[in-house]
Amino acid sequence: MQKIKKFLAKALLVISLSFIVTPTAAPIANIPVVSTVQAATYNKATIKNVQKALNKLGYDCGTPDGIMGKKTKAAIKDYQKDKDLKVTGTVNKTLLKSLGVKASTSTASDTKKKETTVYVTKTGSKYHKGSCRYLRQSKISISLSEAKKYYDPCSVCKP
């Protein structure tokens, strides 16, 4: 019983001292908040147009190459600060509107990525999905748009 009382007394002392010794946190004021969340991803053509516009206005982005490097981010931040925009350091709708730059539509490389690939055989007159049973002997890849011009769709795999 004596040990329990002694232990409780020490615990109570430690707890009470921790409240006395703990300093209070002072609120920090006037610190600018910089958001790093990027809402949308823009293609290289759009970024290149932003870089050209910023360079023209005297904000050094380096050579307009469509890549969001350190210089481009720094130039965007400087421009956003000067124009009282939300400072993000990224390309967003507000920045595009302020610069008078329109977001570019898909480029040729984007179109190639979205193009569906189908397959034809050496001797066939139809195009097939990659898993079609008629592709056992030969399998030649071709874009769907090209295949539609010269071949008929397979009635088994229905690409």
pLDDT band at 148 (very low <50, low <70, confident <90, very high): confident
**Does residue 9 fall inside a structural domain?**
no
pTM for the predicted model, two decimal places: 0.45
pLDDT tens-digit series, residues 108-126 = 455 455 678 888 887 778 8
pLDDT of residue 77: 92
Beta-strand pair 126-128/152-153: parallel
In a domain, 76, yes or no: yes
State the average pLDDT over residues 141-152: 84
> Is residue 36 in some structural domain?
no
134 and 92 in a common domain: no
In a domain, 138, yes or no: yes
Q: Could you give the number of structural domains in the chain?
A: 2
Q: Residue 134 is which amino acid?
A: Y
> C-alpha 126: how far from its chain's center?
39
Residue 59 placed within a domain: yes
Report the C-alpha gap between 40 and 90 in whole angstroms.
9
Whether 50 and 96 have beta carbons less than 8 Å apart is answered as yes
Amino acid identity for residue 104 in this structure: S
Strand order across the beta sheet in which 140-143 lies: 140-143, 117-120, 126-128, 152-153
- Specify the higher pLDDT residue, 123 or 71: 71
44-56 helix and 70-82 helix, angle to the nearest 10 degrees: 60
pLDDT per position as a tens digit, 18-30: 666 555 555 555 5
